[in-house]
C-alpha cells in the first residue's frame, strides 16, 4: 500500500461514518453545511449543489474555523454538522479529518463525492 493510500485509510478510520448522497442532503435540510471543495473547472463542467458553500481546498481550514477571523459566515460553531464534498470522495476524507482536528467534531465527507451525488439523481 502506498503512503498516500495508508494516509487515506487512517483518515477514514478516524472519521468513522461517511455519509451517502441522500444522507448528505438530509444533513443540509436539517441545517448542516455542505462544503464543495472541487476546483472551478469541475464545478463548471459538472455543476454545483444548490446551497453548498464553495470553498477552495487551500482555504478550507481558514474559512471553516469558527474562531478564525477569515471564517465564512456559515461557520458559526464547532458543533455544526459539515459534509465535505470533492469530486470522487478522496480529498474530502483528508479535508474532513483536518476540520475535525480544528474542533469541528461533526465534520465528515460524502462517500463517492459529487459523482455519487449526481449518480443518485441529486445534481
Rounded CA gap, 14 and 51, in Å? 28
Instruction: Quick: pLDDT tens for 16-26.
Output: 999 999 999 99
123: pLDDT strictly greater than 70: no
8 Å CB contact between 51 and 102: no
Average pLDDT over residues 98-122: 97
Instruction: Quick: pLDDT tens for 32-77.
Output: 999 999 999 999 999 999 999 999 999 999 999 999 999 999 999 9
Q: What percent of the chain has pLDDT over 70?
A: 99
Rounded CA gap, 10 and 7, in Å? 5
CATH number for the domain that contains residue 36:
3.40.250.10
Average pLDDT over residues 1-10: 96
HSE-CB at 26 with a 13 A cutoff on CA atoms is 5
Task: Report pLDDT for 59.
Answer: 98
Beta-strand ranges (E) seen in 1-123 are 33-36, 53-54, 82-85, 107-109
- The residue among 114, 108, 116, 123 whose CA lies nearest residue 39 is 114
What domain range includes position 91?
3-119
112 burial level (CB within 10 Å; 0-12, 13-18, 19+): buried
**Helix residue spans in 47-111 (DSSP H):** 60-64, 91-101
| Tally of domains in the chain | 1
116: pLDDT strictly greater than 70: yes
Amino acid at each position: 500500500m502506498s503512503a498516500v493510500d495508508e494516509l487515506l485509510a487512517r483518515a477514514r478510520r478516524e472519521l468513522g461514518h461517511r455519509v451517502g448522497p441522500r444522507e448528505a442532503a438530509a444533513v443540509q435540510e436539517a441545517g448542516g453545511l455542505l462544503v464543495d471543495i472541487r476546483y472551478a473547472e469541475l464545478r463548471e463542467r459538472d455543476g454545483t449543489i444548490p446551497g453548498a458553500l464553495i470553498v477552495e481546498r487551500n482555504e478550507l481550514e481558514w474559512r471553516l474555523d469558527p474562531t478564525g477571523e477569515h471564517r465564512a459566515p456559515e461557520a458559526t460553531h464547532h458543533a455544526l454538522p459539515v459534509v465535505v464534498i470533492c469530486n470522487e470522495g478522496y480529498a474530502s476524507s483528508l479535508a474532513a479529518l483536518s476540520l475535525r482536528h480544528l474542533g469541528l467534531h461533526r465534520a465528515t465527507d460524502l462517500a463517492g463525492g459529487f459523482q455519487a451525488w449526481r449518480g443518485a439523481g441529486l445534481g
